[in-house]
Structure 1
Amino acid sequence: MSKKVFVFFPDGVGLRNFAFTDFKSIGEQMGFDITYWNNTVFSLKDNLGFKEVKIEDHTAHKLLPIYTRARKRAELNISRDKFNDAVYPTYKFPFSYKGLKNTFKTLYTKCLIGLHSSEKGVVKLRNKINTLERSTSKYKYCKAQLELHKPDLIFCTTQRSTQSISALLAAKDLGIPTVAFVYSWDNVPKAMQVVETDYYFVWSDLMKAEMLKYYPFVKEDQVIVTGTPQFEPHFDDSLKQSREDFFKDYNLDVNKKYICYSGDDETTSPLDQYYLEDLADAVRNLNINGENLAIIYRKCPVDFTDRYQAIIEANKDIIEVIDPIWKPVGDQWNQVLPAKEDFKLLYNVCEHSEFVTNVCSSTVFDFVAHKKPCIYYNYEQPQLKKGIRDIGQNYKYVHFRSMPSQEAAVFCTDKNDLESIVKNIIDGKTSNVTEGLKWFEVVAGKEPTLASQNIWSSIHNLLIK
């Protein structure tokens, strides 16, 4: 009899990896009975024809946000002290004192942090969170669903959603094995391990080492390196369009060479629009001197601001906007969901651009998969003032320490150097591709084309234990 696996979407961030890739078909070819346990507003049954069980009760305990925030900050305090490293406090978001309610929440959270900033204290916080979530109607609702459908294993597509806690506790209490996929390359050092499961699937040996470093309660045999399906489409040649067809579809000029500017969210890069302006100025100057360059602006899918608009309008002769094919199905950042068609679009933007440029984005890996360079901006903008976050902080984060060398990206540390850097990349004199591919392997693992297969093979091995 085939094994029944629930692929659990607590939110929409896992759709790209586990609904729109070949993940499901690979699992079915290996004999699994796959049902999507769906906590999102996106209907997998209606849109993709997948078998799904919808979670309609989204109740979380009213104290959950306070306790999860306290847990995160306590863990960051432990890392700060344990590793004598000032980077960890920079992962904290500021407290709010606006109004009596927010002030009370802040004071209560600070009290919890003060009492629990130790490894034993964090365990107490996690146990308290579990107690709170077991008391909710969602816990009972999910438990009833699991008792009805009797899956052999739950595969949770992200470890960082509080919406997954009660559902996974229900599985645990019924003796159903649980696995969490660690969603992103920067998540482990940032104390974003919200759930506790029987096993954790990670991208690489690097992430496995980090899991064991930051979470003493996790044992080595619980962490399994699988890779991530995130980059698999970049190796699918069936997505490739000819330059002529791609340029025709998006009204691009076949006589021009295009540079991709990959936008960032407002939190990561609050002055991001001015780096686009700097690139436009550099391109304009190079064109005056004989080049024929233009820019493809691909916005961050979860950036809802209009902050780029004036700069795009002022440079519409050289900036072409090609938006990612993502669709909002709610008003939260994690309810902006990718369409499957975006795989093909991103593949061809990478393939037909000369290089990408941005502030510290993981698109460096998308582009090096196509043997294309990446410029990282790392200089302050004159608009920077008190209360605006300096983007230089990003490059001090722990996940950037995984770079095998500083040549894994082309860093622009002075606005005045940007024009010459662009020229050198266009002329083939400067590139990060060789070192960038080494970095890609460190972060994403040695088998980027086999991640889905590795995940299902690992699930198979767990089920026959």
Structure 2
Amino acid sequence: MSKKVFVFLPDGVGLRNFALTNFNAIGTALGYDITYWNNTPFQIKSELGFEELKIENHQLHPLTTIFTRARKRCELNLFDKKYKEIVYNTYNFPQSYRGIKNAFKSLYVDYLVATKSNEKGVKMIRERIKEIERSTTKYAYCKKQLQKHQPDIVFCTNPRPTQAIAPLLAAQDLGIPTATFIFSWDNLPKATTLIEPNYYFVWSDYMKMELLQYCTYVGPEQIMVTGTPQFESHFDSSLLQSKSDFYKRHNLDAGKRYICFSGDDIVTSPLDQYYLEDLALSVRELNQQGYELGVIYRKCPVDFTTRYNSVLTKYRDVIVSIDPLWRPIGTSWNEIMPTKEDFALQANICHHTEFVGNIASSMVFDFVAHNKSCLFFNYEQPQLKNGIRDIGQNYQYIHFRSMPSKEAALFVYDKKELTPIVKSILDGKSSNVLVGKKWFNIVVGTEPTKASEKIWEGIETILK
């Protein structure tokens, strides 16, 4: 009899890796009975044809968001003390005290942080979160679904959402094995893991080390090193168009070479539009020297601000905007859903541009997979003022310490250096690809095309 696997989607983040890749097809070919336990608005059955079981109850305990916010802040305080750092707390963002409700929540969080920022206090908060979530109607609802459908394992695609807590607890209380996938390279040092399943699937040995370091309640026997499906599409040559087809599809100038500017969200880079403008000015300058260049602007899929509009209009002679093929099915950032078509679009942008300019994102790995360089902007803009977050702190984050050396990316530290560096990359004199591939192997793992297969191997190991 086929083993029944519940692929749990607490939010839309897991769709990209586990519904829109070959993950389902591989599992089905291996004989697994796969159902998407779906807590999102996305219609798995009608859109993709996969079996799904909808979770219609989304109730959290009124105190859960308070305790989960406090847990993160306490853990980051603990990390700073334990490792004699100050950087961990830069992962925090200011709380809101506007209005009675927000003020109450934030003051309660402050009290917990002031009194529980130690090993004993964090453990108390962790147990309290489980206790209150077990008392919710969502927990009882999920438990009934599990009792009815009796899966052999629940595989959670994202450990961050509060919506994941009650369903995982319900499964564990019924004796059903549970596992989660660490979906991003910065999840662990940011103290964003809110669930405690039986097993963890990580990208690499480096991430395994991080998991053991930051989640001391996890043992090495609970961890499976598998890689991530996130980058598999970059190694699928069947997705690539010819240069002429790609240029025609997006109305590009056949005589130009293009540079990709990959936009950031407004939190990471609040003045991102000015870096796009700087790149456009460098391209204009180089075009006056005889180069024939353009910029492809790919916006951050979850950025719906209008902050780039004036730059796109002013520099329309050099900038072409190619939007990601994502679509909103809700109002929050994790309800902006990717599409299969965007895998191909992103791979083609990487393949048909010269390099990428960006601020501190994992796009460095997407481009190095295509043997292309990544230029990280690392200077501040004159528009920076009090109340606006500077970009420099992004490169101080713990997850950037995974770099084998600073040569793993190309950094520009001064606006005046931008044009010479762009010229040097275009002329083949500067590249981060060699060291960038070493960084890729450290963070992503050495077998990026086999991640989906390895995850199923891990599931098989658990179910034996």
TM more than 0.5: yes
Displacement of 1:99: 2.2
Q: Distance in 2 between matches of 1:30 and 1:99?
A: 54
Displacement of 1:254: 1.3
Secondary structure of the residue that 2:241 maps to in structure 1? coil
> Where does residue 429 of structure 2 map in the other structure?
429
> Where does residue 452 of structure 1 map in the other structure?
452
> Where does residue 416 of structure 1 map in the other structure?
416
The TM-score normalised by the length of structure 2 is 0.99
Q: Which amino acid aligns with 2:432?
A: N
> Where does residue 42 of structure 2 map in the other structure?
42
Displacement of 1:100: 2.5
> Where does residue 143 of structure 1 map in the other structure?
143
Q: Distance in 2 between matches of 1:389 and 1:226?
A: 35
Displacement of 1:97: 1.8
Q: Does 1:55 align with 2:86?
A: no
Q: Distance in 1 between matches of 2:179 and 2:113?
A: 28
> Where does residue 3 of structure 1 map in the other structure?
3
Q: Distance in 1 between matches of 2:110 and 2:186?
A: 25
Q: Which amino acid aligns with 2:369?
A: A
Displacement of 1:223: 1.3
Secondary structure of the residue that 2:207 maps to in structure 1? helix
Deviations 1:182-204 (A, max 9, x none): 11001100001110100000001
Displacement of 1:102: 1.9
Secondary structure of the residue that 1:388 maps to in structure 2? coil
Deviations 1:42-63 (A, max 9, x none): 0100100000101011111111
Q: Distance in 2 between matches of 1:146 and 1:102?
A: 35
Q: Distance in 2 between matches of 1:395 and 1:319?
A: 27
> Where does residue 162 of structure 2 map in the other structure?
162
Q: Distance in 1 between matches of 2:59 and 2:102?
A: 21
Q: Which amino acid aligns with 2:316?
A: K
Alignment of 1:344-423 (within 5 A): 344-423=344-423
Identity %: 61
Displacement of 1:410: 0.4
Alignment of 1:8-19 (within 5 A): 8-19=8-19
Alignment of 1:328-339 (within 5 A): 328-339=328-339
Deviations 1:328-381 (A, max 9, x none): 001111110001100110010000000000101101100000000010000010
Q: Distance in 2 between matches of 1:119 and 1:26?
A: 41
Q: Distance in 1 between matches of 2:103 and 2:141?
A: 33
> Where does residue 20 of structure 2 map in the other structure?
20
Alignment length (residue pairs): 464
Q: Distance in 2 between matches of 1:92 and 1:215?
A: 18
Q: Which amino acid aligns with 2:417?
A: D
Q: Distance in 1 between matches of 2:17 and 2:96?
A: 34
Displacement of 1:311: 0.4
Unaligned runs of 5+ in 2: none
Q: Distance in 1 between matches of 2:5 and 2:181?
A: 14
Displacement of 1:256: 0.2
> Where does residue 85 of structure 2 map in the other structure?
85
Q: Distance in 1 between matches of 2:143 and 2:424?
A: 59
Displacement of 1:115: 2.1
Deviations 1:285-312 (A, max 9, x none): 0001100000000000000100000000
> Where does residue 316 of structure 1 map in the other structure?
316
Deviations 1:92-133 (A, max 9, x none): 111222122222222111111122111121111011111111
Alignment of 1:147-296 (within 5 A): 147-296=147-296
Q: Distance in 1 between matches of 2:295 and 2:208?
A: 38
Deviations 1:255-304 (A, max 9, x none): 10000000000000000000000000000000011000000000000001
Displacement of 1:216: 1.2
Q: Distance in 2 between matches of 1:436 and 1:312?
A: 30
Q: Which amino acid aligns with 1:387?
A: G
Deviations 1:371-401 (A, max 9, x none): 0001000001000001111100000000000
> Where does residue 132 of structure 2 map in the other structure?
132
Q: Distance in 2 between matches of 1:378 and 1:55?
A: 43
Judge which range, 112-121 or 453-462, deviates more: 112-121
> Where does residue 298 of structure 2 map in the other structure?
298
Q: Which amino acid aligns with 1:24?
A: N
Q: Distance in 1 between matches of 2:302 and 2:38?
A: 21
Unaligned runs of 5+ in 1: none
Secondary structure of the residue that 2:449 maps to in structure 1? coil
Secondary structure of the residue that 2:224 maps to in structure 1? strand
> Where does residue 72 of structure 1 map in the other structure?
72
